[in-house]
Amino acid sequence: MSTSTTVPADPGPVPGRERRRDPLLRMIALARPRGGRFALGVLLGAAATGAGVALLSLAAWMLAVAADHPPITALGVAVVATRALGVGRGVARYLERLVTHDAAFRTLADVRVRVYDRLAATEPFGRFRSGDLVSRLVNDTEATLDLLVRGLTPPLVSVVTGGAAVLFLTVLHVPGGLLLAAGLLLAGLAVPMAAAALSRGPGRRQARARGELSTALVDTLHGAPDLVAYGAMERQVERVNAADAELTRLARGDSALLGLGAGASALVTGLTVWGSLFLGVAAVEGGALDAVSLAVLVLTTLAAFEVVAPLPAVAARLGAIRAGGARLFGVLDTPAGTAPPTRSGLGTEGGATVRVRDLRVRYGPEEPWALDGVDLEIPSGWTVAVIGPSGAGKSTLASVLLRFRDPDGGRVEIGGEDVTAYPADEVRGVVSGVPQDPHVFASTLRENLRLARPGADDGQLWEALRRARLADEVAAMPLGLDTQVGTHGLGLSGGMVQRLALARAVLAAPRVLVLDEPTAHLDPDTRDAVVEDLLAAAEGFSTLLITHDLTGLDRVDRIYVVRHGRVLQQGTHEELSLQEGWYRDVGAG
Amino acid sequence: MKPLDPRLVRTAGAVRTHLAVSVACGVLITGLILAQAWLLARAISGAWRGEGLDTLGWVVGAVAAIAVARALLSYLAETSALHSAARTKSQLRRRLVAHVTGSGRVWTAQPGSDTDGGPPKAGELVTLATRGLDALDDYFARYLPQLVLASIVPLAVLAVVFWADWISGVVVLVTLPLIPVFMVLIGMHTQQRTERQWRLLSRLGGHFLDVVEGLPTLAVFRRAKAQAAILRRVGEEHRRATMGTLRVAFLSAFALEVLSTLAVALVAVEVGLRLLGGHMDYQTALLVLILAPEAYLPLREVGARFHASMEGVAAAEQVFAELERGRGAHDRRGGASGDADQDTAGEAARRTPAPPPATGRPAPAAGGDIRFEGVELLYPDREVPALSGLDLQVSAGEHLLLTGPSGAGKSTLLSLLLRLTEPTRGRISVRAPGGRWEPLDAVPADDWRLGTAWVPQHPYLFDVSVADNIRLGAPEASMDRVREAARLAEADAFVSALPDGYRTRLGERGARLSAGQRQRIALARAMCRDAPLVLLDEPTAHLDPENAAAVRTAVARLLEGRTAVIVAHDTGWARETLGGTLRTASLPLPTQEGSVSR
């Protein structure tokens, strides 16, 4: 397979020492492969900023020399150099921006692939239940780009250019150089850090108030029909306004604190310029400095503060970037849910009988057992249903069968082989189906289907659609199989998504078909039709149907009732209907 | 996108205050910049002439005073900006909330649809009102003051430079206007490109999200590892496409940068040469040199801050769009029903005698008979009516079970009974026990709703205590009444088991509870409302069998002695639980000529 050469191996478990490092440093480490480009960017940035400072220094020198009316040749080089700096600054800035952005985009691509590889290797799908978490993970990944473009280069540029300016002035006049060093450190480091620290309190206070406000707003807008129907809208709007008033009160109070940073920066800049003027004038009077150098000293100091201008904004963002990094690494450090395989070559031949023996699973050492000794058998070619209330452990059973996690006790055998010994992908060659909440990719219907069997031709795709009873609807679409679906295309109805997922499962043609809650989120009218189609399409497979809903159970070969992680009852629909017990109590029999 | 939206100035009083403060600060800061330049030039040239600290002392001292004054002004400007931002956000937010919850809005009893004609959806509005508007902070604190400076400082500097040395003045005068021109060009250019770019970027960026979200599906089909290579390729395409745009976008910025720096260099060389020739004195030359960059700096800054701050402006624009959109939709709706046919207009006129003001007491008619005659409901911007040709009568004390295919308008019928919306054709009449038939819209909506209790398919639970959720429709209800309602709704046991019992806060959308428990809280809410008319929408649709059984028991209790309209797919349980009092009506799919089969 060509993929084996292009795909990097699983990055492997992350050592504990690495985990304890500052997420900011770990994010920067992600950029290390592009270090050369970033260094070039810093150099170009330093050249651009340096050219601005040097332009004013040189001009000051030129004027001071010209004031003594020397021959014009004394200024020749300076005139040319001044013009060169004027153009050079723009060129360097342009190149710097191109180089840093290019490096940042390359890093973003690297990081995306690393995040993805890690997720594909560890499959922390338990955490995927909240769609929010996924989009946050994606946002956090993008945040690395932000960090690199806006957070990494400016401080380094400031260090290089600021250092050069300080060095230059120290050669000219030691106290003046030291003064500039102190001023730059205060304005570029101390004030931004202090301001960022000061804003943390208001940030927390306001975040809480903002949370209240947004909860009240969510309640108002999503619960509007309920509020109107129960005549409670006015009271609810008052609740929103009260939350808004509280947030506004806090924000107004905090503005006095947040303005301090801006004031302190201006003060440090102004006083440093004043200090250099004072020191310089005194030094000229005392004969320690010549009048030409005085002009250079003061004007260089004045220009040098441009170097640290971007830093307060960087400091203000660091907190948010670090928090994003911590979340990102939190997901990446999750260990895999399955132990490494010890054998390979799970037979594609042989029986497809699934045997589950005394299966026990829990999600943590302190957690209750999600599955507590389940015994179950799916003989080759049978359709078996597992039913029970939500939280009974049904989906845990599906995730064990699909090798998303290892059992904590007991065995799962397919054709007599213990599945935990085999790589996940080999097991999924035998056991496949419709996962909970199947995803429709932003692509064509054809691509969405061929996912399950990359080489499939259109004839096979139509056959699968026909078995999932989706063929007529697709044929009615003007673009047929080329119809765009998913985020950027046609939104499919819940019933169509389930049928598409079913067609995919049929295409994959596993020997064991697992259908995990295929009717969740469907409205009652479509539900019956989908179950009907599912059971028809499942003919010829060994099928495990996991459901909380009782439609169509008279057509399966065997029913297991699961509750609190244990099998309560088992038998055919007819048998269970005659038995005392849960099945009859809930009205299925 | 305009740098300063006039609607923003008009709407938010806080914006006017802020503008006034910004202009005042801007004028003072300009004065201080000019004064500092003059003082520096004076001190350096003085020292060159041989003056010492004894004569220059006041000049040097004045520079320190200016530093302190500028710091104070910066502090004041920033503080006032954040202050105004907070007030503006609050003003905009309140207007937005008042608008979207106002009476012009059409809510429906339909699960999951927000039928006011298209976007934005509730979630987007929440984001807009919170994080979206927060972007105004930057606009107020960073951008607006800089915009004020950019319009004052260059002109003041230009005037002073002209006064000091007209030749330098000409250089500045020629180059300065080129900067706004370039900025406009860049703005237009990048806007066009970024819009195109944005679509491409969101598609490519969306790809990552798509693949991560679909990872479980990919894993099941053993395609997960193969996607990494595709991801890398898409990332590379993303980079190339973006860099292509940036190369051009940065090129314009490059021109801007070169122009402003080169202008300073030209001034420096020209002043230096004339100083050399004895056509100018040292102090003037220094003054011009120090001031020249100051003329360009605010313009460059305002450009640099433009994009970051525009997020806030975009959010404000969205708020205005929402405020105006709702109004427009409302007008259209009125117009459409008028144009539809003369009858409707006539009927509307007949109805118009505005209902008497709400009395705050349940309408007696809610406990009586209800009659639908040729009722049709057509939502604005829809072609097919949600309900058409409906003739139906519900007698007092009767339990009516509504069945019919998806889209037949079952939930819409409940919306009409809840007065969330009005029929576009036909009429609904009601008759209080022992009274006469009267049109439903002659009854004040609030009084009518006081006589109804509604249990939707997906009841919404608020992030307040369980007790407050139950007494949503009866805020004055005592704890005993709340508990009794919960007991009757089979909810008392699990509520009592919550950490704080009835005082437990439920979390966003009742996250603490299962679907069945949420349904039982909604039933308790209906019990607590104690209304003669009960409307139920698929009460057991998404429940597992155990929860469904509990809900059925509760429903049977709720319906005792009350009139009820029940929408249900699974009719078996309803017949079993409600027995003799139940009548069934089936709604067909609506057409222009459709009618109800009994």
What pLDDT is stored for residue B6 in this prediction? 77
> Is A342 among the domain residues?
no
Residue B158 has pLDDT above 90, yes or no: yes
Q: Do B255 and B381 share a structural domain?
A: no
* CATH code for the domain in which residue B376 is found: 3.40.50.300
- Between A56, A63, A442, which is nearest B210 by CB? A442
Q: Do B427 and B370 share a structural domain?
A: yes
Of A213, A204, A200, the residue nearest A246 (C-alpha): A213
> Is B592 among the domain residues?
no
Number of residues that make up chain A: 589
Q: Do A366 and A327 share a structural domain?
A: no
Name the minimum distance, in Å, from the CA of A352 to any CA of chain B: 18
| Cβ-proximal residues to A104 (8 Å cutoff; 6+ apart), any chain | A145, A148, A149
Q: Do B154 and B256 share a structural domain?
A: no
> Is A6 among the domain residues?
no
Give the mean model confidence (pLDDT) for residues B317-343. 54
CA-based torsion, A150, A156, A160, A163: positive or negative: positive
pLDDT one-digit tens code per residue, A453-475:
988 999 999 999 988 888 888 99
Is A266 within 8 Å of B515 when comparing Cβ atoms?
no
Cα distance between residue B70 and residue B26, in whole Å: 11
Cα distance between residue B417 and residue B217, in whole Å: 43
What is the domain range of residue B25? 1-165+302-340
As for how many domains chain B has, the answer is: 3
Q: Do B405 and B542 share a structural domain?
A: yes
CA-based torsion, B398, B403, B409, B411: positive or negative: positive
What residue type is assigned to position A174 of the chain? Answer: V
Are the CB atoms for B116 and B106 separated by under 8 Å? yes
CB environment B527-541: b (16+ within 10 A), e (fewer):
bbbebbbbbbbbbbb
> Looking at A273, A300, A332, which one is the last position of a domain?
A332
Q: Would you place residue B348 in the very low, low, confident or very high pLDDT band (cuts 50, 70, 90)?
A: very low
Q: Do A376 and A326 share a structural domain?
A: no
Are the CB atoms for B72 and B376 separated by under 8 Å? no
Cα distance between residue B494 and residue B551, in whole Å: 13
> Is B291 among the domain residues?
no
Collapsed DSSP state (helix, strand, coil) of residue B143: helix
> Is B595 among the domain residues?
no
Q: Do B450 and B384 share a structural domain?
A: yes
pLDDT one-digit tens code per residue, B264-296:
999 999 999 999 988 899 999 999 999 999 998
What pLDDT is stored for residue B346 in this prediction? 39
* DSSP assignments along A408-421, one per residue: SEEEEEETTEEGGG
Q: Do A241 and A176 share a structural domain?
A: yes
Task: Determine how β-strand A512-516 pairs with β-strand A542-547.
Answer: parallel
> Is A393 among the domain residues?
yes
> Is A8 among the domain residues?
no
What is the domain range of residue A254? 14-332
Of A121, A115, A96, A6, the residue nearest A44 (C-alpha): A96
Mean pLDDT for chain A overall:
85
Q: Do B134 and B26 share a structural domain?
A: yes
Peptide bond preceding B355 in cis form (omega within 30 of 0):
no
Name the minimum distance, in Å, from the CA of A7 to any CA of chain B: 6
* CATH code for the domain in which residue A207 is found: 1.20.1560.10
Is B454 within 8 Å of A429 when comparing Cβ atoms?
no
Q: Do B6 and B133 share a structural domain?
A: yes
Cα distance between residue A46 and residue B361, in whole Å: 75
pTM to 2 decimal places: 0.76
Give the mean model confidence (pLDDT) for residues A564-573. 89
> Is A340 among the domain residues?
no
> Is B286 among the domain residues?
no
Name the minimum distance, in Å, from the CA of A375 to any CA of chain B: 23
> Looking at B228, B246, B279, which one is the last position of a domain?
B279
Is B549 within 8 Å of A587 when comparing Cβ atoms?
yes
Of A312, A306, A269, A302, the residue nearest A46 (C-alpha): A306
Are the CB atoms for B415 and B594 separated by under 8 Å? no
Q: Do A461 and A571 share a structural domain?
A: yes
Residue A261 has pLDDT above 60, yes or no: yes
Is A85 within 8 Å of B544 when comparing Cβ atoms?
no
What residue type is assigned to position A48 of the chain? Answer: A
Number of residues that make up chain B: 598
The dihedral over CA atoms of A453, A455, A461, A463, expressed in degrees to the nearest 10, equals -90
| Three-class DSSP labels, B177-189 | CHHHHHHHHHHHH
Q: Do A315 and A192 share a structural domain?
A: yes
Residue A131 has pLDDT above 60, yes or no: no
Q: Do B144 and B200 share a structural domain?
A: no
CA B266 to chain CA centroid, nearest Å: 50
Cα distance between residue A124 and residue A510, in whole Å: 24
CB environment A429-466: b (16+ within 10 A), e (fewer):
bbbbbbbbbbbbbbbbbbbbbbbbbeebeeebbbbbbb
What pLDDT is stored for residue B355 in this prediction? 63
Q: Does B406 touch chain A (CB under 8 A)?
A: yes
Cα distance between residue B344 and residue B113, in whole Å: 26
> Is B171 among the domain residues?
no
Q: Do A361 and A326 share a structural domain?
A: no
Q: Do B546 and B428 share a structural domain?
A: yes
Give the mean model confidence (pLDDT) for residues A515-523. 77
* CATH code for the domain in which residue A452 is found: 3.40.50.300
Are the CB atoms for B257 and B267 separated by under 8 Å? no
Q: Do B320 and B206 share a structural domain?
A: no
Are the CB atoms for B239 and B201 separated by under 8 Å? no
Q: Do B195 and B128 share a structural domain?
A: no
| Cβ-proximal residues to B302 (8 Å cutoff; 6+ apart), any chain | B143, B146, B147, B149, B150
Of B114, B83, B101, the residue nearest B15 (C-alpha): B83
Of B155, B162, B196, B160, the residue nearest B176 (C-alpha): B155
Are the CB atoms for A279 and A173 separated by under 8 Å? yes
Collapsed DSSP state (helix, strand, coil) of residue A275: helix
Q: Do B309 and B417 share a structural domain?
A: no
As for how many domains chain A has, the answer is: 2
Q: Do A210 and A84 share a structural domain?
A: yes
Residue A282 has pLDDT above 60, yes or no: yes
Q: Do A212 and A66 share a structural domain?
A: yes
pLDDT one-digit tens code per residue, A320-329:
788 888 888 8
The dihedral over CA atoms of B233, B234, B236, B238, expressed in degrees to the nearest 10, equals 170
Best residue in B72, B222, B525 to probe A by mutation, most A CBs within 10 Å? B222
> Is A500 among the domain residues?
yes
Q: Do A244 and A136 share a structural domain?
A: yes
Determine the residue of chain B that is closest to A403 in CA distance.
B220
Q: Do A358 and A321 share a structural domain?
A: no
Q: Do A359 and A323 share a structural domain?
A: no
Residue B177 φ/ψ, nearest 5 degrees: -65, -20
> Is A348 among the domain residues?
no
Determine which of A81-85, A195-199, B288-292, B504-508 has the lowest per-residue pLDDT on average.
Answer: B504-508
Q: Do A402 and A323 share a structural domain?
A: no
> Looking at A269, A302, A332, which one is the last position of a domain?
A332
pLDDT one-digit tens code per residue, B521-563:
999 999 999 999 999 988 877 677 778 888 888 888 888 889 9
Cα distance between residue A463 and residue A472, in whole Å: 11
What pLDDT is stored for residue A172 in this prediction? 93
Size of interface A-B (CB pairs under 8 A): 465
